[in-house]
Amino acid sequence: MKKSVFATAAVASIVASNMAVAGPEAEVLHWWTSGGEAKSVAVLQSEFADNGGTWTDMPVAGGGGDAAMTALRARVLSGNAPTAVQLKGPAIQEWYEEGVLADISSVAEAEGWADVLPASIAGHMKCEGTWCAAPVNVHRIDWIWANADVLKSNDIAMPTTWAEFNAAADKLMAAGIIPLAHGGQAWQDATVFEAVALGIGGPEFFKKAFVELDMDTLKSDTMVEIFDQMRTLRGYVDSNFAGRDWNLATAMVMNGEAAFQIMGDWAKGEFIAAGKVPGQDFLCASTPGEGYLYNVDSFAMFNVDGDDKKAGQDLLAKLIVGQNFQKVFNLNKGSIPARVDVALDEFDSCAHTSAKDMNASNEAGSLLPSYAHGMALRGAQAGAITDVVTAHFNSDMSSADAVEMLANSVANSL
């Protein structure tokens, strides 16, 4: 009697545990841990649960994703990769080359991703023709933010060329206002640099230099001009900028201490969190010049064993690119949806500008990946360029020397 009770209990527990794992399962590694970002991930999590999935959250904070990448490396090396990982840009292809990414083409084709994603963004999600990642959002990098009151009281319009910007900045300097709010951290220097490069060199030049790493373009006179403009910008930054965080620079624009900031559209979140209204308290415009630099966050799918995990992967991919998640997530995050057919009624005017420009530059072929945010190049090459940019910006190096150093560093990093 006793024995059969145990047996029944054992059978029952096996059945129960089987039932528990029968649904789609996903373990998701990401580094969205700060306030607004965590809220955005929670949206995905609850949608996943509503569709019968079991979500195992694996947030790894710190180092702008460096800590998460270290965790990922350890997991992959031990043969136990997470289901989905927040990865972006060429890092996706880099992991694909290690032979650890899964194919989610069936979902992508069933959902018609190719029709709703801009071609150059879709390109990042493919590994040798198969789909291996799902895009979440599009951040625009080449934004210039301005304090509306400061511009108005100094009679300055939003600049449309770098010459206009320099003229406006000189005027502001004379009026005792810091023209450009900037934080002296390598990635911020690189962000300004690529906006200047796109403006002065144009989309074709940008692509040759920072996507294809064409040596002649890197050494060209246009590049010297770009470094000259960086030197000019250095003069418009206050003396206390070293090591300042980007959000403190945004605050300087907010309280009228400074007039402009060149920063991606996460800066908008700071303005809005402080109760400022776009178009009224602060202005947003693309930096002088043509083109659009994007930073697309995405989730790459890793090879996993077991049908429940594979089902989880497919469900996750479907939900991420789904209309509802793309809308809700990006409203929280300040970016715009990666798919072009999402209604933007609830988004603010800056997001509308961003979406309009994205479509226009997609057609004009000037929709380009940001090098400073790891979309255009692999870590070693992007890092080599940033080293030169930040060394030039923070010293009195001549533009010609900087260009020579740029070519050498890039060659050395290959």
Partner 1 sequence: MTEWLERHMPKMVLAPSFVAILIFVYGFIFWTAWVSFTRSKLLPKYEIKGLIQYERLFASPRWDTAMDNLFIFGVLFIVISMVLGLLLAILLDQKIRAEGALRTIYLYPMALSMIVTGTAWKWIMNPGLGIEATVRGWGFENFAFDWVVNPDRAIYAVVIAAVWQASGFVMALFLAGLRGVDEEIIKAAQVDGIPTWRIYSAIIIPSMAPIFLSAFIVLAHLAIKSFDLVIALTGGGPGYATDLPATYMYAMAFSRGDIGQAASSAMVMMGVVFAIVVPYLYSELRAKHD
* DSSP β-ladder status, 143-147 and 178-180: unpaired
**Token pair 């289901």 in the structure block, residue:** 83
Q: Does 239 engage in binding with partner 1 (CB under 8 A)?
A: yes
Nearest to 257 by CA among 144, 146, 350: 146
Q: Does 21 engage in binding with partner 1 (CB under 8 A)?
A: no
Neighbouring CB atoms inside 10 A of 72's CB total 24
The DSSP letter of residue 302 is B
- When binding is defined by CB under 8 A, the residue of 91, 104, 156, 355 that contacts partner 1 is 91
* Piece of 73-81, 121-129, 146-154, 223-231 that binds partner 1 (CB under 8 A): 73-81
Could you tell me if 134 and 320 are in contact, meaning their C-beta atoms sit under 8 angstroms apart?
A: yes
Q: Does 383 engage in binding with partner 1 (CB under 8 A)?
A: yes
Q: Cβ closer to partner 1: 70 or 255?
A: 70
The edge-to-edge listing of strands for the beta sheet with 292-295 is: 336-337, 137-140, 292-295, 367-369
Binding residue count for partner 1, defined by CB under 8 A: 36
* Piece of 140-148, 160-168, 261-269, 401-409 that binds partner 1 (CB under 8 A): 401-409
- When binding is defined by CB under 8 A, the residue of 28, 69, 230, 350 that contacts partner 1 is 69
Taking the complex as a whole, the smallest distance from the CB of residue 259 to partner 1 amounts, in Å, to: 18
Could you tell me if 349 and 279 are in contact, meaning their C-beta atoms sit under 8 angstroms apart?
A: yes
* Piece of 238-246, 257-265, 297-305, 314-322 that binds partner 1 (CB under 8 A): 238-246
- What character string, x for contact with partner 1 (CB under 8 A) and - otherwise, covers 341-380? -------------------------------------xxx
For residue 295, give both structure tokens.
């930073």
* Piece of 13-21, 145-153, 164-172, 404-412 that binds partner 1 (CB under 8 A): 404-412
Q: Does 413 engage in binding with partner 1 (CB under 8 A)?
A: yes
CA distance 308 to 26: 8
- 99 conformational bin, left if phi > 0, alpha if psi -120 to 50, beta if neither: left
Q: Cβ closer to partner 1: 105 or 413?
A: 413
Query: CA torsion angle for 89, 92, 93, 96 (degrees, to 10)?
Result: 180
CA distance 256 to 147: 6
CA distance 94 to 92: 5
- What character string, x for contact with partner 1 (CB under 8 A) and - otherwise, covers 279-318? ----------------------------------------
Q: Does 186 engage in binding with partner 1 (CB under 8 A)?
A: yes
Beta-carbon contacts of 343 under 8 Å, excluding residues fewer than 6 positions away, are: 327
Where do contacts with partner 1 occur on this chain (CB under 8 A)?
A: 63, 66, 69-70, 73, 76-77, 91, 94-95, 98, 184-186, 189, 239-243, 378-380, 382-383, 387, 390-391, 393-395, 405, 408-409, 412-413
